[in-house]
Amino acid sequence: MARALGVSPSYLSKIETGAQDPTEKFKSSCAKYIKTSVDKLFNDSAVEDIYPEFSNGLKNKLWAVRRELGIKQYDFAKKLKVSTPFLSKVELGLLEPPEDFKNLVSKVLKMEKNELFLG
């Protein structure tokens, strides 16, 4: 995707993780590339509100809660002392986190574990 958008993979990663704000040119290019509007793609709304189909099948509410609280993925990963790719995989349900990670997330967010992780 980075190549198609004419940006470096590291720039795209920084945008995806919230470590850097995208330029207007990048927003337009990205929206055009994935065939959606800039407003739908770049906003402060919960992902589930914009793309309700995305939340179907997720194994946790971690991403939605983090976004709702306005915490950038990069900052959250740093606070949890894990890599951003690890956190991303957990949020997308691609990786089942260990219990100690679930306990730490619960403590950091001051929420019950069963509110964040399903099943």
Domain boundaries, the chain: 1-43, 52-114
Counting residues of the chain whose pLDDT is more than 70, the rounded percentage is 89
Say whether pLDDT at 94 is over 90. Answer: no
Mean pLDDT of the chain: 86
Sign of the dihedral through C-alpha 33, 65, 69, 19: negative
Return the pLDDT at 104: 96
Instruction: Identify the CATH homologous superfamily for domain 52-114.
Output: lambda repressor-like DNA-binding domains (1.10.260.40)
**If phi over 0 gives left and psi between -120 and 50 gives alpha, with beta otherwise, what is residue 81?**
left
Confidence check: pLDDT of 35 > 80: yes
**Mean pLDDT (whole number) for 66-88:** 90
- In tens, the pLDDT along 48-63 reads 676 665 555 567 888 8
